Amino acid sequence: MDIIQKYFGDFTPTQVDQFSALFELYKDWNEKINVISRKDIDALYEKHVLHSLAIAAMADFPDGYQVIDLGTGGGFPGIPLAIFFPEVKFHLVDAIGKKIKVVQGVAEALDLKNVSTAHSRAEEIKDRKFDVIVSRAVAPLKDLWRWGKPLLKKAPAHEQQPGLICLKGGDLALEVQESGLRPRLTSVYQLFPEEFFKEKYVVVVNK
C-alpha cells in the first residue's frame, strides 16, 4: 500500500480502505482460484495495483464515463481504476469464468457499485458502447483494436480522444508495425521509477 501512496495522494478514507483491503482479498481468492502468480502475490501493490494505476497517471476519466476492461483476468487494471475513479462505470470482461468469479467476489467485498462484470468475449458484446477500452497485455495490439473498436462510442471528428489504453511490455516495434496503428507510447518507468517498470509502457490509440 505504501508504494501506491508514494505516487498518489488525496485518497478519500473509503479509497484508502479499499486499496488496503486488496492484499488479503486477493491472497484469499488466490488460494481457491489461481489468478495471480504465487510468487507475485507479495508484490501485489507494485506489480498489479500500481501498474494498473499507470493508466490513471496518463488519463483522466470524466465522471459518468463508461469504461470496458477487455480480458480483465483477476481484475487488472479494472479494479484499481474503479477504486481510483469512483464516479466512472467499469465493465470487466473475461472469457474465463473462474476469473470473473474472483473479480465479482473482490468487487462485492469492496462494495464497488461502479463495477459490472461479464463472462464473455469482446466480440459477443452487442448491446453496449463505451467511451474507452482498457486492457493489460492480453493480446497483440492489432487484435485488441479489432475486438475493441466496434464497442467504442463515436467521437466528434475534430476531437482526438483515447479509444484504447493498454499496458504492454518489452520491444513493441514489430507489434505496433503489424497493427497498422499509430499509438502513443509512454514509459511506465518515467511515471513510476521502480525497477519493475523498465520496458513497460502505457499504449494509447485514439478513436
**Which residues contribute to the annotated binding site?**
71, 76, 122-123, 136
What's phi and psi for 29, nearest 5 deg? Answer: -65, -40
Who's near 7: CB < 8 A, 6+ residues apart? 50, 53, 57, 191, 192
Q: Which three cell numbers stand for residue 87?
A: 464516479
- How many angstroms separate the CA atoms of 169 and 54, rounded? 13
**Whether the bond into 77 is cis, omega within 30 of 0:** yes
Per the annotation, binding residues for S-adenosyl-L-methionine are 71, 76, 122-123, 136
DSSP assignment letter at 22: H
Cα separation values, 57 from 50, 120, 127, 147, Å: 10, 28, 30, 25
Handedness of CA 127, 86, 78, 172 (dihedral sign): positive
